[in-house]
């Protein structure tokens, strides 16, 4: 049986990473680790480690991305919660068997990780990401 091992990150949509860092870094003291372009998600992500988890500030890099749509409709704010799992394929299969609506029925494979999203209609309104680190 697949299991959740930890909260990997909380993603927050922002229109301006530097402006957002005024709060996260300057007010709260959470230090920026790095900023990464993520072409597959049409976004740029600022990574702020907090213990074994992270806060990710996500800025859209294209007007036709899901993040840009979220920002236009709702403004900035919490976008999704990401759980790290030990077996993403097993977790997706278990969720399907339980009737949970998935955005991704198969995980996307990116460098160093596999990821998939659960539809907010099955979670009470929260977009949930599942994430498995690929050992290698």
Domains of the chain in sequence order: 4-133 (3.10.180.10)
d(CA 60, CA 133): 24
pTM of the model: 0.91
pLDDT tens digits, residue range 73-108? 999 999 999 999 999 999 999 999 999 999 999 999
Q: What angle do CA 28, 20, 8 make, to 5 degrees?
A: 70
d(CA 81, CA 7): 8
Q: What is the pLDDT of residue 9?
A: 97
User: Do 87 and 134 form a contact (C-beta atoms < 8 A)?
Assistant: no
User: Which regions in the chain score pLDDT beneath 50?
Assistant: none
**Looking at beta carbons, which pairs linking 120-128 to residues 24 or more positions away fall under 8 Å?**
126/80, 126/81, 127/79, 127/80, 127/81, 128/80, 128/81, 128/82, 128/83
Structure tokens at 112: 């160093």
């Amino acid at each position: 049986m697949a299991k959740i091992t930890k909260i990997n990150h909380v993603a927050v949509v922002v229109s301006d990473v530097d402006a957002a860092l005024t709060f996260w870094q300057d007010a709260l003291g959470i230090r920026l680790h790095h900023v990464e372009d993520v072409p597959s998600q049409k976004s740029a992500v600022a990574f702020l480690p907090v213990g074994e988890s992270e806060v990710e500030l996500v800025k859209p890099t294209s007007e036709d991305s899901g993040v840009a749509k979220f920002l236009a409709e709702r403004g900035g704010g919490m976008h999704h919660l990401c759980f790290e799992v030990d077996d993403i394929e097993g977790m997706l299969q278990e969720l399907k068997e339980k009737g949970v609506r998935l955005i991704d029925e198969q995980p996307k494979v990116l460098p160093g990780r596999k990821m998939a999203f659960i539809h907010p209609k099955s979670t009470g309104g929260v977009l949930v990401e599942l994430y498995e680190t690929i050992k290698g």
